Every structure is written in C-alpha cells, then in structure tokens.
Structure 1
Amino acid sequence: MSFDPKSSVKIFIGELNWSIMAIFLLMFIVSFWSKPSRMMMIKKNLINSLSEQFEIGLKTKKDSAKIMFTSLFMFIVTCNLMGMIPNLFTSSSHLTFNLFMSVPMWTGFFIFGWIKYSNKMFEHLVPNGTPDALISFMVLIELISTTIRPLTLSIRLMANMVSGHLLLTLLGNSMVSSNMILVMILTLVQSMLSSLELGVAIIQAYVFCMLLTLYSDDSDYQ
C-alpha cells in the first residue's frame, strides 16, 4: 500500500491513494475565531521561518517567490509525513510525481534566463579560465549537467523516501516468523529508524526546495 499507486477504492476524483495529497489543503483553512489559536500561531511562525530560509537562497526579494517555495515545501513535507503512517500511500516515492514538480519549475527558470539574459546564460556555460581548446567540450558538459538537474532532483527525493520506507517494511515483515526476543529487538530498531525517517522526510523536502531556489538564481542576473 505504501508504494502502490493503485487502489481498489475509487472516488469521484480518482484513485484514493493519490487523493491523499489533498490533505495539504487543510492547512489553509481560515480560522473562525477572532483571535488566532495556538495552532494558527505555530503555523504562521513556521511559514515565516521558512520564508526567511528561502530568502537567503533567492536573489529576488519579491514575496511571491518566497510564497511559492514555502508552499511547495509544505506540500512535499506533508506528502512525506503522510507516508510515515502505516498502510498509507507515499506519493513522493514515485519518480513521476517528483518530475511533475521539478520539470515545470526548472523549465520556467531555464526559458526565462535564456530569453531575458541570453548573454549571461552563454557566459555561464564557459567557466572562467577555461582553455580555448576545451571551450566546446565544457559547453557540452555544462549543457548536459544543466539539463539533467530536474531528473537528479527527483531521483534524490525518490531514493531517500523509498530506501527508508522499504527498510521499515522489511523489518516489519520479518517480525511475523520471529520469536519474542527478536521481535522486541526489531521493534526497538524500527522505532529508531522511524525517528530517523521522520527527519529525512523533512530534510529532503527542504533540500528539494532549496536546490530549486539555487536553480532559479542561475537564471536571474538582475
């Protein structure tokens, strides 16, 4: 169930496994109280802290850019944390889902840079101090490394989520035919791995968004 995108239960918006991502929208429910609750204050402080972090990596100081990357982080970390619940689908463990987020954003940054800062983008393909004989070779290498950025970004997130979840699944399955002492040891190991996986889920969402901010800077020479 954790890795299977198909579900035997279907609702009017499609597969039930994929629709679990819609829980992210619950974070934007407006409070009906005149004064903010503790949860609303915690959420506001968290969003402000994330905005300050992404502002460090962004050249532009526009609030729209910070809001975009903060929203993307909250979406990814929600999907990652939902996958920590037993028998719930982990959407970020699928390459198609990650490419759906990374490719459109990288393509937008890439096209924007080449249209508005064409000369700077050409200069970026040739590092300073490159010998004349290696210029053509370096341009090819830089183009390839730039082109595969969304793929490596997606594979990084997928690999980290799959590896931890798979290890937890294997440990859980091995408890079926184990004695009581071994079950207690495996439970302790699985609890420690779950704590580690919880940190990985948050860190990988942060790394995904922070690398996207750096990719956006490569196309912004303002």
Structure 2
Amino acid sequence: MSLFISFDPNTSISILSKELNWVIMMIFLMTSMYYFWSKPNRLTICMNNSFYNISKQFEIALKTCKDSSKLLFTALFLFILNCNLIGLIPNVFTSTSHLFLNLFISIPMWMGFFFYGWITYTNKMFAHLVPKGTPTPLISFMVLIELISNLIRPLTLSIRLMANMVSGHLLLTLMGNSMVGSSIFMVILLTSLQSILSLLELGVAMIQAYVFCTLLTLYSDDSDMMSN
C-alpha cells in the first residue's frame, strides 16, 4: 500500500470508489442533523449545547453581535472538523490534506473581506498598512511588507491546515507499515504509540479547525467587514 494513498483522491479506498472520495466529507453533515425522534433526545441536546458554545466563542472574536456572522463561522468550523475527523479513519480519503480544498474555502472569504474593506473603509485599510510608531524612512518599506503579508494570508492559512493534517497521518502510516515483519514486542510498542498519537491527532483535528476559523474572523475584523 502506498504511503500517500489516503491523500490521493483518484484511488479507490476501502469500499468507496474514487468518485465518492470527495463526497465522503459531506456524509456526516447530511445525517447528523436528522431528527429521528419527535422530542429532543440526549444526543440532540448535547449537540445543540456544543453548537451554542462554539458560536459563543466566535461571537467573542467578532466585532458584530449579528447571529448570521457567528453562524457562518460555526458552520465552517463544523465542516472542517468533520473533514478532519473523517480523515482519521484508516485508509479513508483526507480532504483537508489537499491545498486545493483549503484554498477553495479561504480565498473567497478572504477576498470578500479584503475588497469590501478597501472599498468601504479605504482610509482605515491604508492606516493598517503602517504600524503606529513607524519611522518615516521605513514607511514605504513597511507598506510593502504589510501588503505582501495581507496578500499571502489565504495561502498561509491553507498550508497551515494541510501541513498539520498531513504530518500526523504520515507518521501513523509509517508506524503502521513498520509493524510488518516486526517482533511481537515491537508490534505492541508501536500499537501503543499509535493509540497515543491517534488521541493527539484527534486534538489536532479540533484545534486546527478552530484556528482556521478564528484566523478568518480576525481577517474579517481587520477589514471591518463585520462591524456594526
């Protein structure tokens, strides 16, 4: 089995055909919110409480008090978290390990924040390019640095998510391949290490989804797009 098979959307993985590799990231979202009971059960109550707490976290980061703003980032967080968690299943396609998907999410949102800010708050956006207290001879240089840093934001945001998802998965795969032909002691040792690393990857999947969405909220605040 190839080391990078779980990152290749053109391969057939498990019982899934290659056409379903991109669709699998939507399966959980299509079924998780379906109500099987006439009244809320414990699982539904726990999910609603979790969604409420997540939305409160984004409400703190955003300047606005409008529900539509925090719901946007809450939905994006749940989507990325779902993709990250599905990728933890062995031999299942990891969609967030692809730069294409991450750029497809980050670039449109960043462009909306960026252009809206420059069109609506032109003076503020120019002021953001020059940090307070910058010496006069360095103003032109700082404007260039700040402009470049703003332009590469969606790329760095996408690469951060991709690198964190790929690194842990590759390490788990390498440890799994090392078990072939190993002694019983090494198999037990590697299995224990894989179990610990899997728990860490579970935390990374949650943290990276939160970091991705939190940085987008900060970008929206910088452009004053979400301000009242």
TM range (shorter): over 0.9
Matches within 5 A, 1:161-172: 161-172=165-176
Matches within 5 A, 1:21-170: 21-23=25-27, 24-29=29-34, 31-170=35-174
Task: Output the amino acid matched with 2:109.
Answer: M
C-alpha displacement of 1:100:
0.6
C-alpha displacement of 1:32:
4.5
C-alpha displacement of 1:14:
7.4
Give the structure 1 partner of residue 190 of structure 2: 186
Relative to structure 1, the CA distance from residue 78 to residue 183 in structure 2 (aligned partners, 3 Å threshold; closer, same or farther) is same
TM-score (norm 1): 0.94
In the alignment, the residues of structure 2 paired with residue 187 and residue 32 of structure 1 have an alpha-carbon distance, to the nearest angstrom, of 37
Give the structure 1 partner of residue 216 of structure 2: 212
Deviation string, structure 1 residues 35-65 (Cα, Å, up to 9, x no partner): 1111111110011000100011100111001
- The gaps in structure 2 that reach 5 residues or longer are none
Deviation string, structure 1 residues 139-164 (Cα, Å, up to 9, x no partner): 10000000111111100000000000
Deviation string, structure 1 residues 16-49 (Cα, Å, up to 9, x no partner): 11110121222332x2533111111111001100
In the alignment, the residues of structure 2 paired with residue 19 and residue 36 of structure 1 have an alpha-carbon distance, to the nearest angstrom, of 28
TM-score (norm 2): 0.92
Task: Output the amino acid matched with 1:94.
Answer: H
Runs ≥4 residues deviating over 3 A: none
Contact 2:11 2:18 in 1 (8 A): no
% of aligned pairs identical? 67
Task: Output the amino acid matched with 1:25.
Answer: M
Contact 2:85 2:202 in 1 (8 A): yes
- The gaps in structure 1 that reach 5 residues or longer are none
In the alignment, the residues of structure 2 paired with residue 26 and residue 107 of structure 1 have an alpha-carbon distance, to the nearest angstrom, of 31
In the alignment, the residues of structure 2 paired with residue 8 and residue 86 of structure 1 have an alpha-carbon distance, to the nearest angstrom, of 13
C-alpha displacement of 1:182:
0.7
